[in-house]
């Protein structure tokens, strides 16, 4: 089986619930808790700038409203993406993918970059994210792991940067997961923890694939999944799940 170069423990959206998700502040909080790999979501602004945000709308995690891709980056950059979480983070901005990548590379933090495309923009988002990642991580010791629920996004990302490793995100593990991973040129499957059978990691390893699981917040369940051979655990509970 090919060597797995990534840390086993991954901070979900940077710091789980301890800081405003998908911000530089969250990445720094995860790092302060000992995490050396972060997961975050990237989509495109109206003018094609990759930036971090999970939802399809701005309403939940910023002081803006409406579709996330309705504004140009110049306007998105002025939004407050921290005050929804707590007063201490008031004024925390939305970050560009470029800013987070530079921080991660400088600090030796591995990245699981979820391509979180807006509906109808799967291909252009996949291509744009992969293109930026290829340029920023050129020459870096560890490339980012690109992942997505959208197979169209993964196909476009692979076409743009075939050297970057990719993973397919799923809620339920489909019966044809091996065929999908092969067709998409993926190296790993990322599944909801509740859908991960005890033998999934072993079956994946036999086929030279890896298994990541999200979002596992119970330390006992984390231990069980690690014992089953799961390669990486994505968690919100960065204050309770200690990275080994």
- Does the residue 219 lie in any domain? yes
Predicted pLDDT at 193: 97
| φ/ψ (deg, to 5) at 114 | -85, 125
- Does the residue 202 lie in any domain? yes
Q: Which residues are catalytic?
A: 12, 54
Domain that holds residue 217: 9-235
Mean pLDDT of all residues in 2-13 = 95
Nearest to 10 by CA among 44, 35, 33: 35
- Does the residue 150 lie in any domain? yes
Q: Indicate the number of domains in the chain.
A: 1
pLDDT at 244 over 90: no
Q: Does residue 55 or residue 1 have the better pLDDT?
A: 55
pLDDT at 242 over 90: yes
Tokens representing 168 are 């397919």
Predicted pLDDT at 1: 80
- Does the residue 3 lie in any domain? no
Domain CATH for 93: 3.20.20.190
pLDDT at 2 over 90: no
Taking a C-beta distance cutoff of 8 angstroms, is the pair 76, 101 a contact? no
pLDDT digits (tens, 9 = 90+) for 46-105: 999 999 999 999 999 999 999 999 999 999 999 999 999 999 999 999 999 999 999 999
Mark residue 43 as left, alpha or beta (left: phi above 0; alpha: psi -120 to 50; beta: remaining): beta
**Is the entire prediction scored with pTM above 0.85?**
yes
Kindly report each contact of residues 210-216 with a partner whose C-beta sits within 8 Å and lies 24 or more positions away, as own/partner: 210/4, 210/167, 212/10, 212/112, 212/167, 212/188, 214/12, 214/39, 214/190, 215/12, 216/241
């Amino acid at each position: 089986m090919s060597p797995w170069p990534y840390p086993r423990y991954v901070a979900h959206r940077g710091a789980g619930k301890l800081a405003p998700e998908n911000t530089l502040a969250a990445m720094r909080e995860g790092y302060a808790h000992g995490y050396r790999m972060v997961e975050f979501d990237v989509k495109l602004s109206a003018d094609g700038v990759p930036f971090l945000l999970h939802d399809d709308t701005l309403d939940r995690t910023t002081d803006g409203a409406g579709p996330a891709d309705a504004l140009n980056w110049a306007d998105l950059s002025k939004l407050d993406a921290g005050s929804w979480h707590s007063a201490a983070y008031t004024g925390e901005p939305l970050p560009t993918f470029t800013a987070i990548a530079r921080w991660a590379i400088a600090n030796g933090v591995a990245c699981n970059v979820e391509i979180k495309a807006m509906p109808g923009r799967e291909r252009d988002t996949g291509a744009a994210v992969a293109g930026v990642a290829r340029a920023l991580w050129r020459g870096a010791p560890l490339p980012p792991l690109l992942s997505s629920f959208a197979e169209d996004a993964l196909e476009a990302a692979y076409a743009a940067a075939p050297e970057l490793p990719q993973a397919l995100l799923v809620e339920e593990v489909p019966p044809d997961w091996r065929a999908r991973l092969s067709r998409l040129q993926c190296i790993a499957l990322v599944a909801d923890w509740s859908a991960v059978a005890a033998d999934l990691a072993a079956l994946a390893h036999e086929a030279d694939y890896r298994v990541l699981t999200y979002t596992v917040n119970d330390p006992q369940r984390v231990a069980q999944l690690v014992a089953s051979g799961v390669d990486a655990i994505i968690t919100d509970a960065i204050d309770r799940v200690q990275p080994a």
